[in-house]
Amino acid sequence: MEAKWESERVRELTPSATIDLGDRIKRLHASGRDVLNLISGAPEFDTPPEIKREAHAALEEDHRYMTYSLSSGLWDLRRAVADKLRGENGIAAHPDQIIVTVGVKEGIALATQACLDPGDEVLLLTPGWVTYDALVRLAGAEPVSVPLRKGSGRMLTDADLAARITPRTRAILLNTPHNPTGRVFGPAEVELIAETARRHDLLVLADETLEYLVYTNALHRSIAALPAMAERTLTFNGFSKAFSMAGWRVGYVHGTPPLVANMLKVHQHLVTCANVVAQKAAAAALGGPEGGRAGIRSGLADRRNLVARALDSIPGVRCPVPEAGLFCFPDIAGTGMDDREFADFCLEEARVAVLPGSAFGAGGEDHVRIAFGRRSTDALAAGIERIREALSRRERAAAGDGLRAAP
């Protein structure tokens, strides 16, 4: 039945692939099906104890954390964020240039609503997180795909960007470290995006959510720290991944005072402020010891190695070890299935949920995204082994059909 009241922008919007499949898995679990979930971007680690203690203290202290904070967020948290951006990223930040948001997703939504008009074009480097495209469309703007190059070389060239710049191009969205490929944009590529933005007077939306989850000597570089980029860059980050605080829903955005002021208008009308107890805990995350965060990163690095090597040993599957993040992005073309067929096959035949790469836009075809943030390494190993065994059964069945069909 069609909705009687339905806006055009929602009619044309597709559901989040990650959330939609997650709901499907819950229904399978409810029906008694044993399905291993390897789609979630939330690591299954405990939030470090010092962060939880700070939240508990805020709950017990007094009414200050039971009411609204400033809409832009607690001063202590914004000051900690500004200190972090200055000290670690080379961004000349002040607390008044920061909004604490309900996760990074809300921050990017504020930017698209406050900075884009209908008909504007935004360059999206694809494959990319499924929500970028949707948030651009919800603002009435048009996402323009810039497919990233595959392999171990550069992901992006000047020709890739130049071919897609038009008079309507308004912004570029840069996500590094990158979801879903797990690669880190090199200094030359970050400078290329900066030069393109300066030359064409573009805004850069820089999502650095996975910054603390780099496992190699690859250098993460914040584009806002480059010459003449602070004035045209919004930098987004948060606590869900590196601090295992996904359910706490705290992120932040930094930008120039005019940009932040416009985004704050939208934020005030949408949510008033982020959860205040969670904000207090996030301040402790940035200002406290690094041991908890380092332990999460170390655990994820071990799981990355386990999953990438196991996947790469499966016939028909090629899986480079990701430099960063929470996901492997193997090429499954050698199995003879496309990415959607492969994801359905894994769910139905191996009882393992993975995401088809095409859900992440152009360039994701023939890949799937597999999350390695599970608490149990045994569960991860079992999941990959289920996929291996299901593919082996498929191969044997195909060989048997071939023998029966022979004269």
Q: Which of 29-38, 74-83, 304-313, 362-371 has the lowest mean pLDDT?
A: 29-38
Closest alpha carbon to 276 in 116, 77, 98: 77
Report the relative pairing of strands 142-147 and 121-126 from DSSP bridges. parallel
Whole-number pLDDT of residue 364: 92
pLDDT greater than 70 at residue 379: yes
Residue 298: pLDDT over 60: yes
Structure tokens at 371: 């999350």
- Note the pLDDT of residue 195: 97
Looking at the chain, the whole-number percentage of residues with pLDDT higher than 90 is: 82
Average pLDDT over residues 100-110: 98
Tens digit of each residue's pLDDT (9 = 90 or more) over 171-205: 999 999 999 999 999 999 999 999 999 999 999 99
Is the pLDDT at 347 greater than 70? The verdict is yes
pLDDT, tens digit, 9 for 90 and up, residues 244-284: 999 999 999 999 999 999 999 999 999 999 999 999 999 99
Instruction: Express each pLDDT in 380-398 by its tens digit.
Output: 999 999 999 999 999 988 7
Q: What value does the mean pLDDT of the chain take?
A: 92
Query: Distance between terminal CA atoms of the chain?
Result: 52
Strands 203-207 and 233-238: parallel
Spatial separation of the C-alpha atoms in residues 173 and 128, rounded to whole Å: 10
CA 241 to chain CA centroid, nearest Å = 9
What confidence category does residue 403 fall into, taking pLDDT thresholds of 50, 70 and 90? Answer: very low
122 pairs with which residues across the strands? 143, 171
Residue 127 preceded by cis peptide, ω within 30: yes
* 375, pLDDT greater than 80: yes
Query: Distance between CA atoms of 25 and 346, rounded to whole angstroms?
Result: 12
Supply the pLDDT for residue 3. 66
217 dihedral zone (left: phi>0; alpha: psi -120 to 50; beta): alpha
Domains of the chain: 8-46+291-401 (3.90.1150.10), 49-287 (3.40.640.10)
**292 vs 268, more confident:** 268
137-158 pLDDT per residue, tens: 999 999 999 999 887 667 899 9
Strands 251-254 and 233-238: antiparallel
Residue 42's pLDDT band (boundaries 50, 70, 90)? confident
pLDDT computed for residue 26 by the predictor = 75
Q: Please state, as a whole number, how many other Cβ atoms lie within 10 Å of the Cβ of residue 163.
A: 9
Cα 182 from Cα 245, distance rounded (Å): 20
Instruction: Give per-residue pLDDT as tens, 316-338.
Output: 999 999 999 999 999 999 999 99
In whole angstroms, give the CA distance from residue 228 to residue 222: 13
List C-alpha distances in Å: 177 to 137, 185, 186, 234. Answer: 24, 7, 10, 16
Is 340 in contact with 358 (CB distance < 8 Å)?
Answer: yes
* Whole-number pLDDT of residue 64: 83
Is it the case that residue 34 has pLDDT exceeding 80? Answer: yes
Say whether pLDDT at 163 is over 50.
yes
pLDDT at 402: 56
Place of tokens 């997703």: 105
Measured in residues, the chain has a length of 407
pLDDT at 223 over 70: yes
Residue type, 147: P
Distances (CA, A) of 377 to 25, 371, 384: 20, 12, 11
- What angle, 0 to 180 degrees and rounded to 10, lies between the N-to-C axes of helices 291-312 and 377-405? 10
- The three-point CA angle 303-308-311 to 5° equals 125
Strands 98-101 and 251-254: antiparallel
Task: Please state the three-class secondary structure of the chain as a single string.
Answer: CCCCCCCHHHHCCCCCHHHHHHHHHHHHHHCCCCCEECCCCCCCCCCCHHHHHHHHHHHHHCHHHCCCCCCCCCHHHHHHHHHHHHHHHCCCCCHHHEEEECHHHHHHHHHHHHHCCCCCEEEEEECCCHHHHHHHHHCCCEEEEEECCCCCCCCCCHHHHHCCCCCCEEEEEEECCCCCCCCCCCHHHHHHHHHHHHHHCCEEEEECCCCCCECCCCCCCCHHHCCCCHHHEEEEEECCCCCCCHHHCCEEEECCHHHHHHHHHHHHHHCCCCCHHHHHHHHHHHHCCCHHHHHHHHHHHHHHHHHHHHHHCCCCCECCCCCECCEECCECHHHCCCHHHHHHHHHHHHCEECEEHHHHCCCCCCEEEEECCCCCHHHHHHHHHHHHHHHHHHHHHHHHHHHHHCC
